[in-house]
Chain A
Amino acid sequence: DSGVTQTPKHLITATGQRVTLRCSPRSGDLSVYWYQQSLDQGLQFLIQYYNGEERAKGNILERFSAQQFPDLHSELNLSSLELGDSALYFCASNRAGAPQETQYFGPGTRLLVL
């Protein structure tokens, strides 16, 4: 158990809908990362937050947004969902968000868009 929690574990929804994925980092970690794992794209970095502020952005679609709250939990919002958004979404955390730090991953949220 990495100490990172993600809810829900599974999510099934329809095209055009909006969903929110939630992540709680390990105790003491200030930085949160979101990754998408899909069959065609592999594991891809989406976005990073540090202590409530966006720090780095990757291949995140405009239909997707995220935020980190004062209690340090983070939410990833996916809107106007398409079939291709079906994937496993991971959250990871570490203490200071530095590249030398290990990122510890949550169990993931498996999203299926029908």
Chain B
Amino acid sequence: AQKVTQAQTEISVVEKEDVTLDCVYETRDTTYYLFWYKQPPSGELVFLIRRNSFDEQNEISGRYSWNFQKSTSSFNFTITASQVVDSAVYFCALSEEEYGNKLVFGAGTILRVKS
């Protein structure tokens, strides 16, 4: 069964703190794709990153980094030196070859960054 779990419902940090958002997924497929999206208060869904199941290389993009570990079925997202503009809901999502093209989303983590 496809499932994405974001156990952290809400996280509050003070500006400049580092924060990690957890994502754990379940899949029986050997080929799958993981995504992170950001939903700022304005409501749109903004794509952040895509990772396929064959690529376990971690990625860094500016203050953002992602740690993909197949052994623990996790795809965690870290924001370094958080800023107030990072305040948003962050969603992890999964798509699989076997189950077509739909995205299965986690429940989302609300990140509040205080100044």
Contacts and interface: CB of A to CB of B under 8 A. Distances in A.
Interface residues of A, number: 28
A110 B43 contact: yes
A58 B103 CA distance: 10
A83 interface: no
Interface string B96-111: 1100111111111000
Contacts, number: 66
A97 B95 CA distance: 11
A16 interface: no
15 contacts: A2-B47, A31-B101, A35-B103, A43-B91, A43-B93, A43-B103, A56-B101, A56-B102, A90-B45, A99-B96, A100-B33, A100-B95, A102-B50, A108-B43, A108-B44
A104 interface: yes
Interface of B: 32-33, 35, 37, 43-47, 50, 52, 91, 93, 95-97, 100-108
A99 B47 contact: no
B35 A45 contact: no
A68 interface: no
A55 interface: yes
Given A42-B108, A43-B91, A99-B95, A88 B101 contact: no
Contacts of A97: 101
Contact of A48 (B37, B102, B108): B102
